């Protein structure tokens, strides 16, 4: 399975309705800045989203790189799979697959992120993701897409890790963040769904190490790679945990 093969199967209606008959009804961008209480770092998120029927597909982008998606409303998934911006193509694929194969009707385990403030929900989500990863003593985890709450839970379990992010920088604990994982040593991969939108996902699969994904971007795309390099997926469709204080739902998939 490759992304190109998955797109081909969508185009030929092998996985659901003809994408030429699936129009986007709403297209929107979500921008946020966050700094959790007691945390020393702030961050920003920008996400483009497309709605097809009841489903919302999403793809995060680097702030400042977001496309204007207003004209996507009324456009078919078939056409948007050829859009010049990768984020729109990813969000369209995500929306289509969520429309055709809703998380709610899958065999995924429903995991609740309890209501709370932004830090409490971030830590609750991170604990569930690390539980899904289930690192064993002595294993080293490559964490692609640095989320400090994930690192905090790994640290609490005495799990060694390599933080990796295209933006580089340093973690909350002043650890250097690598921008290229190819010269690092690791046993497991814990990767953001953003890797599906920025072209780095298949390079991670090519390492041969088991990959666990925590996916807000492309949450409905990621499960199709179970058994094809991905071991587990924590799928989190829009609206994400950081958008509100109420309970949120994660859909946890494991390799068959």
Per-residue pLDDT of 162-219, as tens digits, reads: 999 998 999 999 999 999 999 899 999 999 999 999 999 999 999 999 999 999 999 9
User: What's phi and psi for 29, nearest 5 deg?
Assistant: -125, 135
Domain ranges of the chain: 3-102, 104-254
Is the pLDDT reported for residue 115 higher than 80? yes
pLDDT score recorded for residue 124 = 97
CB atoms within 10 A of CB 131: 13
Residue 37 binned pLDDT confidence (cut-offs 50, 70, 90): low
* List of long-range contacts for 60-69, beta carbons under 8 Å, 24+ apart: 60/87, 60/193, 60/194, 60/197, 60/216, 60/217, 61/87, 61/197, 62/167, 63/31, 66/29, 66/31, 69/27, 69/28, 69/29
Q: What is the mean pLDDT of residues 218-234?
A: 97
Residue 39 binned pLDDT confidence (cut-offs 50, 70, 90): low
pLDDT over 90 for what percent of the chain? 90
Tokens, residue 93: 């694929």
Positions of E strands within 69-187:
109-113, 140-144, 160-164
- Can you tell me the distance from the alpha carbon of 91 to that of 57, in angstroms, rounded to the nearest whole number? 5
pLDDT digits (tens, 9 = 90+) for 41-89: 777 889 999 999 999 999 999 888 899 999 999 999 999 999 999 999 9
Is the pLDDT reported for residue 2 higher than 80? yes
Is the pLDDT reported for residue 103 higher than 70? yes
Nearest C-alpha neighbor of 47 from the set 102, 94, 111? 94
pTM value is: 0.95
pLDDT score recorded for residue 145 = 94
CA-based torsion, 136, 141, 144, 147: positive or negative:
positive
The CATH H-level (homologous superfamily) assignment of domain 104-254 is NAD(P)-binding Rossmann-like Domain (3.40.50.720)
pLDDT score recorded for residue 256 = 85
**What's the CATH fold of domain 3-102?**
Enolase-like; domain 1 (3.30.390)
């Amino acid at each position: 399975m490759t992304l190109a093969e998955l797109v081909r199967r969508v185009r030929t209606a092998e996985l659901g309705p003809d994408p030429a008959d699936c129009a986007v009804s709403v297209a929107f961008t979500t921008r946020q800045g966050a700094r959790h209480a007691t945390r020393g770092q702030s961050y920003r998120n920008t996400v483009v989203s497309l709605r097809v029927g009841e489903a919302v597909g999403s793809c995060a982008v680097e702030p400042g790189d977001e496309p204007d998606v207003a004209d996507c409303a009324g456009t078919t998934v078939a056409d948007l799979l050829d859009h010049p911006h990768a984020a729109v193509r990813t969000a369209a694929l995500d929306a289509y697959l969520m429309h055709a194969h809703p998380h709610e009707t899958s065999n995924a385990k429903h995991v609740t992120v309890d209501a709370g403030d932004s830090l409490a929900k971030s830590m609750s989500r991170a604990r569930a993701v690390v539980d899904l990863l289930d690192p064993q003593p002595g294993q080293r985890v490559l964490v692609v897409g640095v989320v400090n709450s994930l690192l905090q839970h790994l640290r609490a379990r005495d799990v060694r890790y390599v933080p990796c992010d295209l933006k580089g920088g340093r973690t909350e604990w002043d650890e250097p963040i690598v921008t290229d994982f190819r010269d690092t040593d690791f046993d497991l991969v814990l990767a953001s769904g953003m890797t599906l939108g920025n072209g780095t996902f298949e390079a991670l699969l090519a390492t041969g190490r088991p990959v666990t994904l925590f996916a807000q971007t492309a949450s409905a795309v990621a499960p199709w790679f179970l058994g094809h390099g991905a071991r587990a997926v924590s799928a989190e469709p829009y609206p994400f945990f950081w958008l509100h204080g109420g309970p949120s739902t994660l859909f946890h998939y494991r390799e068959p």
